[in-house]
A = this chain, B = another copy of it.
Amino acid sequence: MKAPSPLSRVAVVLVRTSHPGNIGAAARAMKTMGLDDLVLVAPRHFPHPDADALAAGAVDLLDRARVVPALRDALAECVLAVGFSARGRDLAHPAREWRALAPEALAATADGPVALVFGNETSGLSNDEILACQRHATIPANPEYPSLNLAAAVQVASYELALAAAAFAVPERPRRARATGADLEALHARLARMLVANGFLDPREPGRLDERMRRLAARLDLESEEVALLHGILDSFARK
């Protein structure tokens, strides 16, 4: 049996959300990153057709969302709550960059449910709400315009957590059939012979041509099929 992903133990808690469309867009953002536990604290309008519309393929998260009257209800079972706020607020908890904090939040899922808490679109989290969380996270942003849309903040937060969990890692370098040193030497030698034959290259004064072609070829990281293709192109010139 596959162990449940630590992401399944992370709830996103939206506090006093004004616009139901933002709830839907946040659900979509969560699902793209493998989160599915949505908790709504005193939303102004929910359920609502705007929430469904913006959730797109993530309406299942809305159907399963829990609605509670106060933040303490959302956090009652959680072993760690991380409150998000824009940078620069003078708060009791020092804010830490979410990228640095995400691994700790992920590790805490081994002990129990973890909550990521986002405030109202206009006013953010109140000081009391921040103080109900054990950690205070911030997403670095342009100080001249730090106002990420609520769903955008949920997207970035969920993305960081998914990457910290290596949940959907892409192989960094797909396997390639690389050309070998012998392939490359044969190609260089052949090109040089042809360029001598057609008069482009004077073998008594070769200059830096070989060096420049090797520099170019090095950057190419040629595949063996590409070497064959280049030989074919050289053949076509030789036939001329």
Is A139 positioned at the interface, with any CB of B under 8 Å from its CB?
Answer: yes
Q: How far is the CB of A44 from the nearest CB of chain B, in Å?
A: 19
Chain B residues, CB < 8 A from A146? 32
Is A229 positioned at the interface, with any CB of B under 8 Å from its CB?
Answer: no
Is A231 positioned at the interface, with any CB of B under 8 Å from its CB?
Answer: no
Known: A95-B170, A172-B97. A58 touches B145 (CB 8 A): yes
User: Which A residues between 78 and 132 are near B, CB-CB below 8 angstroms?
Assistant: 87, 94-97, 99-100
Known: A56-B147, A94-B174. A142 touches B31 (CB 8 A): yes
Q: How far is the CB of A50 from the nearest CB of chain B, in Å?
A: 13
Is A156 positioned at the interface, with any CB of B under 8 Å from its CB?
Answer: yes
Our pick among B95, B139, B149, B170 for the contact of A96 (Cβ within 8 Å) is: B170
Q: Do A29 and B170 have beta carbons less than 8 Å apart?
A: no
Is A196 positioned at the interface, with any CB of B under 8 Å from its CB?
Answer: no
Q: How far is the CB of A9 from the nearest CB of chain B, in Å?
A: 16
Chain A residues engaging chain B, CB cutoff 8 angstroms: 25, 28-29, 31-34, 56-58, 87, 94-97, 99-100, 138-143, 145-149, 151-152, 155-156, 159, 162-163, 167-170, 172-174, 176
